[in-house]
Amino acid sequence: MATEDLPVHESGKTFEELKQINEHGAEYWSARDLQPLLGYSQWRRFEDALGRAMTSCERSGNQCDHHFAGAGKMVTLGSGSTRSIADFHLSRFACYLIAQNGDPRKPEIALAQKYFAIQTRRQEISDAQARDVERIELRKQTSEEFKALSGAAREAGVQSVMFGVFHDAGYKGLYNGLGNESIKARKGIPKSENLMDRMDTTELAANQFRMTQAREKLARERIKTQQGAIRAHEQVGKEVRAAIQRIGGTMPENIKPAEHIKHVEKRVKDTPPKLELDGKDALGLGGTKPADDKLL
């Protein structure tokens, strides 16, 4: 996976660059480092996510203390003195569970879920299947972003009966004047199907970016009129289209429809990811040795 697809810490380091090695030779991550990486500003809220991940770990048939080890971390105060704060050492599997139990509406969580889903699956499946997983995760994210944009539109003054017009405006900007139904007609997609269910990863990514930027524009410019929101959404669509043109990308209306996402989900479901770990992976923070009290 490319570096730009990795979650990035506020220090500029990626998830993989924050990895440390303990006395057992096992890789681990500090929960305090992971907290801002996943978009949590308060440790209290991140502890809630840790608790949900621990429960998930136990329910998946793994030993929690092999993957979540309580630890202290020394921090420097403004006065120059130091004090110890609560921390956890986390195995890769623990980090994966925290991301999976996080709020997908957080962009950091969404990116981490996509990253871990692909990395976990690549250990067991082919590149073709990994692409299926990537598309499924991206489709979930666009669904969440669509809901978030609808909420932003409502706050900007768009009435419920005009939501179709509002969302169509974004499509028209991105697809050179084509609305939802016109795009489906051009691509030969049945009217009864959801357009995004037939988008490949490239097209989904372009639309997710359009929706994200439209939502931010509505908030940034404090747009509070229905027509203003509709115009803003169309303008964002045009800007995303122009960016695709500048880099020589395929125009979205020319991208062939992909296999229906439900068929892809069924194919992936038939080969479920292994969550109950064995061997060295099951030992987690214990490395090649059985976990003992030193981990706690």
In this prediction, residue 157 carries a pLDDT of: 96
pLDDT digits (tens, 9 = 90+) for 22-55: 888 889 999 999 898 888 888 888 888 899 999 9
- CA dist 166 and 150 (Å) reads 9
In this prediction, residue 24 carries a pLDDT of: 83
Strand partners, 83: 75
Within 8 A by CB and 6+ apart from 102, the residues are 38, 49, 109, 112, 113
- CA dist 241 and 252 (Å) reads 8
In this prediction, residue 284 carries a pLDDT of: 74
In this prediction, residue 80 carries a pLDDT of: 56
In this prediction, residue 1 carries a pLDDT of: 38
Amino acid identity at 212: T
Please provide residue 290's backbone torsions phi and psi, each rounded to the nearest 5 degrees. Answer: -60, 140
Within 8 A by CB and 6+ apart from 77, the residues are 83
- CA dist 6 and 61 (Å) reads 28
In this prediction, residue 3 carries a pLDDT of: 38
Each domain of the chain, given as residue ranges in start order, spans 3-103+275-295, 128-269
In this prediction, residue 185 carries a pLDDT of: 97
In this prediction, residue 180 carries a pLDDT of: 97
In this prediction, residue 16 carries a pLDDT of: 86
Please provide residue 192's backbone torsions phi and psi, each rounded to the nearest 5 degrees. Answer: -75, -15
- CA dist 20 and 190 (Å) reads 51
Q: 219-251: string of b/e by CB count within 10 Å (b at 16+)?
A: eeeebeebebbbebbbbbbbebbeebeeeeeee
Q: Are 196 and 207 in contact (CB under 8 A)?
A: yes
- CA dist 291 and 64 (Å) reads 11
pLDDT digits (tens, 9 = 90+) for 85-100: 889 999 988 898 898 8
Please provide residue 294's backbone torsions phi and psi, each rounded to the nearest 5 degrees. Answer: -65, -20
Encoded tokens for 165: 């017009």
In this prediction, residue 6 carries a pLDDT of: 46
Query: pLDDT below 50 — which residues of the chain?
Result: 1-7, 290-296
- CA dist 41 and 39 (Å) reads 6
